[in-house]
Chains A and B, each alone.
Chain A
């Protein structure tokens, strides 16, 4: 995969597993940073394996994609924990250390551990927009906004 194709596939995969649109995923400004994070922890070969697995199913229908993702990505002993870490990274902005069992079998992933890749990661966590709120300490919604029902975006 070319460098730009790789990034695009990562964005498409991220959009798929978070249920946010590619525009919203790009909109975090963190796409490259996160791809680098994944590469840094599990190595480019394993990241490629993840992206290729996703690439193979992109033309299928939404329902089929979900089923396939369960079988070949989230249900894969090797790729599953990585995929889950990516989902958590997007939602929370923290890379959560891979399970010890994974490390034993597929490691060592030297850079693994629980960490925040960059201060913006916290601010851009998708969790907050999902619930129509904002990360505590950033992107405030304005005086008095809290008295109204939340604007939970449709998806």
Chain B
């Protein structure tokens, strides 16, 4: 095995597709949990979940920008892009599953696993041997028995791959950055208070973009706050578990900021990993959930267009996402017949 995981442009495209899949895959779980929280209660928990979900969207956009820059294809409509929940993560972390369900203590454990900091040093050690039955996602680009320890490791390998492939290409007087610049989504079309977006067209802009994803995600090298003072996802969630905010100067695991009170009860009891066929057919609720899935499928097609030369569509995507929020909230408050649980979108696309 070489020191580089990504040794061809084809592999790079494959890993970038997984990156997009990965960023997207975490959004429905976070958002389901977010809207399961009673409005008005748990303002801190809701805000933390919301901030993380919004940044996952940013990361998806960044991954798509990098993909477009290196001449790959962005297509969110291909079969299997949206996983069937519960699922393992596309980067190959197999020791836990991610699913759709209400906010709660168990869910929080899972979020901490999703966002766990990169622990391993560079190179081979960033992999872990896969134990037990691997699911449908390939982890290591060409060694099926390996996976990455964390999302950070997974992205670091992509970054290294880009640097390596570009230096190889340069040596031959070529470049891997062959994409159409008009496809880049930039800050005009997308921004939130927390994130920046810039066009990707060379090694430097690509690496900066990937570093931002790593930094906003788990935070590298045990840093709670990033360069711009933004707190990493892992530590955002850790605050909920510890019941206290971090402030600058704190040690990991020992936040000293304002207290957070989490009301674990003020949550709608949505069914875990609900499937459409569990809802009585021909019922109004069945139709509403099916309708949601259909609208979501159309939305992914719409986003695909946005990343294929029509970045302006991203502006219209925002109102659509707000519309999803309303629909989700509505479903989440509907009791399922005969049980103690409530409905939720199933994301069966």
Contact = CB atoms under 8 A, between A and B. Distances in A.
B221 interface: no
A135 to B, nearest CB: 11
B325 interface: yes
Nearest to B328: A27
Contacts of A119: 39-40
Contact of A142 (B38, B39, B40, B319): B319
A120 interface: yes
A129 B325 CA distance: 13
Contact of A27 (B38, B39, B323, B333): B333
A75 interface: no
Interface in B327-347: 329-331, 333-335
B321 A142 contact: yes
Given A21-B284, A123-B39, A144 B330 contact: no
B125 interface: no
B315 A143 contact: yes
Given A123-B39, A139-B326, A23 B321 contact: no
Contacts of B38: 29, 120
Contacts of B335: 26
Contacts of A141: 319, 322-323
Interface string B276-319: 00000000110010000000000000000000000000011011
A89 B294 CA distance: 32
A143 B318 contact: yes
Contact of A29 (B268, B288, B319): B268
Contacts of A118: 40
Contacts of B322: 139-142, 145
Contacts of B40: 118-120
A123 B325 CA distance: 13
Interface residues of A, number: 20
Contacts of A27: 329-331, 333-334
B319 A23 contact: no
Residue from B268, B284, B333 having most chain A Cβ neighbours under 10 A: B333
A29 B315 contact: no
Interface in A116-155: 118-120, 123, 129, 139-145
A141 B284 CA distance: 25
A8 to B, nearest CB: 10
Contact of A28 (B284, B288, B333): B333
Contact of B330 (A23, A142, A145): A23
B325 A139 contact: yes
A133 to B, nearest CB: 12
Contacts of A29: 38-39, 268, 329, 333
A28 B331 CA distance: 9
Contacts of B285: 23
B334 A23 contact: yes
Nearest to B316: A144
Contacts of B323: 141
Contacts of A120: 38-40
Contacts of B329: 27, 29
Contacts of A123: 39
Given A29-B38, A145-B318, 10 more contacts: A23-B334, A26-B334, A27-B334, A28-B330, A29-B268, A29-B329, A118-B40, A140-B322, A141-B323, A145-B322
Interface of B: 38-40, 268, 284-285, 288, 315-316, 318-323, 325-326, 329-331, 333-335
22 contacts: A23-B288, A26-B330, A26-B333, A26-B334, A27-B329, A27-B330, A28-B333, A29-B38, A29-B39, A29-B329, A119-B40, A120-B38, A123-B39, A129-B326, A139-B325, A141-B319, A141-B322, A143-B315, A144-B316, A144-B318, A144-B319, A145-B318
